[in-house]
Amino acid sequence: MNRVSRTTIKRSINSFAFTALLLFGNALEAEAQKMYIWCPDELKATPRTDQLRDVEINLLVTDARIVSEKVRDKCSSQELIDGVVRLIKGAYPAARITVLPEGERRAEDGKVMLEVRITSYHATFTSPSWFALTGFSVRLVNQRGERRENSRDISKEKKFFNAGGFATAKNNLNKAYVEACIELLDFISDELER
């Protein structure tokens, strides 16, 4: 009985030590994580030529991300903003879209104010997988007729085993971006076609 107790105690101590080492190692790894940002592939939405014909839209796209010092940034804030603007303008060629400079918000009678804030766009390596996240916060004020306002937070994430290193990370980030952009365009269409 005494021998069984010692074996059980040794196993418990070894198990505890292994768990503590694992947790400590994960804490160090989390501390050492870096975020990576690459520009997304250029997206060309299928033009929704019958939608939003002659609708006047004031569009404001801003980068609202808070990026840590550990980021490895290969894409500027302006490049991300420009990509979202091109996507929206390309998706609604029949609309009359005016891009507003940052800080200017104009909700005018007879027009639509569309504000898109980029809230996240990055990939992070968390062993053994790459985790990618893209997010938008969208606010739409429709002042054509009776004033209507709606907003939506859009967040898409992709996680995949690190099979190809940075290629896996870029692919995950691009997929998350594409899915977030699809939801963004669908939100705009749904809100303005009512």
Q: Give dist(CA 173, CA 125) in Å, integer.
A: 12
Which segment, 6-15, 67-76, 172-181, is predicted with the most confidence on average? 172-181
- Per-residue model confidence as pLDDT tens digits over 3-28: 555 555 555 554 444 343 334 334 33
What is the pLDDT, as a whole number, of residue 6?
Answer: 59
What is the pLDDT, as a whole number, of residue 5?
Answer: 59
| Residue range 93-119: mean pLDDT, rounded | 91
| Residue range 89-117: mean pLDDT, rounded | 91
pLDDT, greater one: 14 or 37: 37
Element (H, E) at 156: strand 148-161
Chain centroid offset of residue 44 CA: 18
Contact 56, 194 (CB under 8 A): no
CATH code of the region 33-192:
3.30.160.150
Contact 155, 135 (CB under 8 A): yes
Task: Let me know if 3 is exposed, middle or buried by CB neighbors in 10 A (0-12, 13-18, 19+).
Answer: exposed
User: Percentage of residues in the chain with pLDDT exceeding 90?
Assistant: 62
| Residue range 51-78: mean pLDDT, rounded | 91
What is the pLDDT, as a whole number, of residue 2?
Answer: 52
What is the pLDDT, as a whole number, of residue 24?
Answer: 38
Task: Write b or e for each residue in 72-110: b if 16 or more Cβ atoms lie within 10 A of its Cβ, otherwise e.
Answer: eeebebeebbebbbebbbbbbeebebeebeeeeeeeeee
- Per-residue model confidence as pLDDT tens digits over 128-169: 899 999 999 999 999 998 999 999 999 999 998 888 889 999
For residue 74, pLDDT over 90 is answered with no
What is the pLDDT, as a whole number, of residue 3?
Answer: 53
For residue 184, pLDDT over 70 is answered with yes
Q: Which of 81, 62, 88, 56 is nearest to 187 (CA)?
A: 88
Q: Could you count the other beta carbons within 10 Å of the beta carbon of residue 147?
A: 10
